[in-house]
Amino acid sequence: MAKEIKTKSSFGTIRVDHVSPPLSGDTPKGINLVISFEEALKLHLGLLQVLGKLNGYNRNTAEGKASAINLCLFTDTNRLTINEDKVKQPKK
């Protein structure tokens, strides 16, 4: 019998600078966001657009280094918005 081919279960991990508003103690450690292929394409396009804008900033300045992306989840409407933001403490 042939062995099963391993497939990826995760396609990357990133570090989150901060969560706003702060999470309460009873918040689950992990929250899964399941989206359709079509919605994933919209997310991909939105991320490309905001990354293109952030890429235009001078990364040699504190302002440029502080540039960030904010993914805002509206739990009441099941919507996720992609916004430009700033990290709390830019890397030096």
pTM score, whole prediction: 0.77
Minimal CA–CA distance to 64: which of 54, 73, 74, 72? 54
Higher-confidence residue: 1 or 80? Answer: 80
48-72 tens-digit pLDDT: 999 999 999 999 999 999 999 999 9
Burial of 36 (0-12, 13-18, 19+ CB in 10 A): exposed
Q: Where are the domains of the chain?
A: 37-86
Determine the pLDDT at residue 92: 59
